[in-house]
Structure 1
Amino acid sequence: MEVIFKIIRQQQNSAPVVQTYPLEVDPGNTILDCLNRIKWEQDGTLAFRKNCRNTICGSCAMRINGRSALACKENVGSEIARLQQIQSLTNTANSHLEITVAPLGNMPVIKDLVVDMSSFWDNLEAVAPYISTAARQIPEREFLQTPQERSLLDQTGNCIMCGACYSECNAREVNPDFVGPHALAKAYRMVADSRDSTTENRLENYNEGTKGVWGCTRCLYCDSVCPMEVAPLEQITKIKQEILTHKQKADTRSIRHRKVLVELVKEGGWIDERQFGLQVVGNYFRDLRGLLSLAPLGLRMIAKGKFPLSFEASEGTEQVRSLIEAIQQTKSEV
């Protein structure tokens, strides 16, 4: 069958252009197979990265029909089927079989499908993704782990650093300080590793503003595109739980946000937003600047009759409270 490949091509610091390449393909051909043929048979100037062709190295990550994926893993048949399903849901039929290939997002383009991954690697380095040297000052024995301790590292150990999650990260797109899901997934591996001796310092760093775990918007894109099922968002959530276990409510606004939210839901079934603002932003009346920042919003709400003078607990509050307490009890036992 003939498929038209629409490739987003770009030189460094220039506007992207779309170039089309018709190609006779089989449904089982991978996208990387097709790119190789385009380069070998039609246009030798086309630039893209590749290496192993076996979903191991992560080199060939790019955006295929709008989502970041490995070109060596995705094949023509499944991509066409996925695209046709989207078209049927959106009533946008297309008589031509087309596949659009673009460079990864959140990184500047060097040429065509090749991006500059410097920020990707710099942010990985920022989380210190290696066992602390202090823990190595024990000459008497090896660093033994039980099978259970080692199993905590299996999922994050599957990461091949392809950049797909980083490319799709909404938080990274709007916040250049956010280190990214790949770095935080690797960070959890260090937190969970029984051989590491700097867990407290790590949690302090990962808790810092929106650079660390609190910068995540929980959009789930990182999980949905990860070719190795590392589930970066799941690892970020685990780090948050570790931070909440080690920190008090008064430590940071991010921690108060999470803990106060749970407490208010336990108390009333839903959130008393008056208390939420005072406790989270105002830090229980300790943060005068935070309280003053709420004043303009509060005055506007009062002027428009939107400020609630009382709070009524929701139906089923007891059941909600018992569910939360049961979950908290289970976590404490684990």
Structure 2
Amino acid sequence: ILTCLDRIKWEQDGTLGYRKNCRNTICGSCSMRINGRSTLACKENVGAELARLRQIHGLSDEEIPAMTIAPMGNMPVIKDLVVDMRKFWDNLDAVDPYVSTQARQIPEREFSQSPQEREKLSHSGNCILCGACYSECNAVEVNPDFVGPHALAKAQRMVDDSRDDRTETRIAQYEQGTDGVWGCTRCYYCNSVCPMEVAPLDRIGEVKQAILSRRDGNASRAVRHRKTLVELVRDGGWVDERKFGVQVVGNYFRDLRGLLSLAPLGLRMLVCGKFPLSFEKSEGTEEVRSLIDSVRELEAQNR
């Protein structure tokens, strides 16, 4: 598709603006939306896209569907397919994506890493900062302060890098409000569009797990939300809504302001007959509990 854009620029419209550089899925410069999804123009080819569109729209092999090329989303358009990526780069800088060794004694040669330690960095290390995940991020669309999946994928690299000496400081930074990992809506779109299989959502999940392993339920509402949700599902197969709000927002009756904030909602639910006065465990609760316990055992083994 990048070659097609080149032909259009060279032979039909010399004013067409777009970015390109390596032409080999290395630099990430040629990101754009191709038929509704962000990807690299140098990676996608016309034949595969036509086949995909035919399958989506149920067209025959003889029919030629129209292809749509558009600039990336969540960033202002400068010209044609060129977008302003300053916020993208600023958000990356906000997570301080550089290994810090300030508090360590610098060795004579280099910091050594075991293969197992290096393996933790493989996925995030493959990121070429093309912006495809940021372009399709629903969280960025509704919350401009969310740093984005690209930045948090790099954040995971910093958290798990054995050479870094600021792990605890970073974790405290990445869990703040909805700007960090708790702002992710878990839509999985970043995983589906990433051309390098970085799987940003999985990396965000690893940062969350690092936070949860270090924090108890009193640390923040976000941590309490995650822990309470899992425990309630483990106990009853699904969420007991009578307990959920009290435990998460009210912090087990410790947060009076939080409890009072629930009162209007609770009254409306009572008036509408939607307040659950009783709770019955779902069928298959034991199976759900077994699955959760198995996942916890695997996580403990992988730490």
Q: Deviations over 1:108-149 (max 9, x none)?
A: 011110011000000000001010132553335520111111
After the TM superposition, which residues 13-52 of structure 1 pair with which residues of structure 2 at under 5 Å, given as runs? 31-52=1-22
Q: TM-score, normalized by length of structure 2?
A: 0.96
Corresponding residue to 2:277 among 309, 312, 315: 309
Aligned partners of 1:213 and 1:236 also within 8 Å: yes
C-alpha spacing 1:135/1:81, structure 2 compared with 1 (3 Å)? farther
Q: TM-score, normalized by length of structure 1?
A: 0.87
Bigger Rg, structure 1 or 2:
1
Corresponding residue to 1:276 among 244, 249, 254: 244
- Measured in 1, the distance between the counterparts of 2:61 and 2:50 equals 12
C-alpha spacing 1:93/1:276, structure 2 compared with 1 (3 Å)? farther
Q: How far has the Cα of 1:44 moved from its partner?
A: 0.4
- Measured in 1, the distance between the counterparts of 2:28 and 2:50 equals 23
Q: Deviations over 1:23-65 (max 9, x none)?
A: xxxxxxxx10000000000110000000111111100000001
Q: Are 1:202 and 2:202 matched, yes or no?
A: no
- Measured in 2, the distance between the counterparts of 1:203 and 1:39 equals 47
- Measured in 2, the distance between the counterparts of 1:171 and 1:92 equals 37
- Measured in 2, the distance between the counterparts of 1:248 and 1:41 equals 63
- Measured in 1, the distance between the counterparts of 2:66 and 2:103 equals 54
- Measured in 2, the distance between the counterparts of 1:319 and 1:53 equals 50
One-letter code of the match for 2:252? Answer: Y
| Matching residue of 1:74 | 44
Q: How far has the Cα of 1:93 moved from its partner?
A: 11
- Measured in 1, the distance between the counterparts of 2:65 and 2:240 equals 53
One-letter code of the match for 2:48? Answer: S
Q: Are 1:56 and 2:26 matched, yes or no?
A: yes
C-alpha spacing 1:49/1:308, structure 2 compared with 1 (3 Å)? same
C-alpha spacing 1:292/1:137, structure 2 compared with 1 (3 Å)? same
- Measured in 2, the distance between the counterparts of 1:60 and 1:100 equals 15
Question: Which segments of 5 or more consecutive residues in structure 1 lack a partner in the other structure?
Answer: 1-30
| Matching residue of 1:188 | 156
| Matching residue of 1:84 | 54
- Measured in 2, the distance between the counterparts of 1:92 and 1:199 equals 55
- Measured in 2, the distance between the counterparts of 1:68 and 1:61 equals 7
- Measured in 1, the distance between the counterparts of 2:253 and 2:45 equals 58
Paired residues, what number?
Answer: 302
Q: Which moved more, 1:296-305 or 1:311-320?
A: 311-320
One-letter code of the match for 2:159? Answer: V
Q: Which moved more, 1:92-101 or 1:243-252?
A: 92-101
Name the % identity: 71
One-letter code of the match for 2:34? Answer: I
Q: How far has the Cα of 1:86 moved from its partner?
A: 1.2
| Matching residue of 2:117 | 149
One-letter code of the match for 2:249? Answer: V
Aligned partners of 2:37 and 2:193 also within 8 Å: yes
Aligned partners of 1:135 and 1:196 also within 8 Å: no
Aligned partners of 2:132 and 2:193 also within 8 Å: yes
Q: Are 1:175 and 2:143 matched, yes or no?
A: yes
After the TM superposition, which residues 240-259 of structure 1 pair with which residues of structure 2 at under 5 Å, given as runs? 240-259=208-227
| Matching residue of 1:5 | none
Aligned partners of 2:104 and 2:165 also within 8 Å: no
| Matching residue of 1:320 | 288
Aligned partners of 1:168 and 1:221 also within 8 Å: yes
| Matching residue of 1:237 | 205
Q: CA-atom RMSD, angstroms? A: 1.7
Aligned partners of 1:266 and 1:324 also within 8 Å: yes
One-letter code of the match for 1:71? Answer: A
Corresponding residue to 2:194 among 226, 230, 233: 226
Q: Deviations over 1:257-289 (max 9, x none)?
A: 110011111211211101001000111111222
C-alpha spacing 1:318/1:196, structure 2 compared with 1 (3 Å)? same
C-alpha spacing 1:307/1:278, structure 2 compared with 1 (3 Å)? same
- Measured in 2, the distance between the counterparts of 1:172 and 1:323 equals 32
Aligned partners of 2:53 and 2:65 also within 8 Å: no
Aligned partners of 2:100 and 2:164 also within 8 Å: yes
After the TM superposition, which residues 103-182 of structure 1 pair with which residues of structure 2 at under 5 Å, given as runs? 103-182=71-150
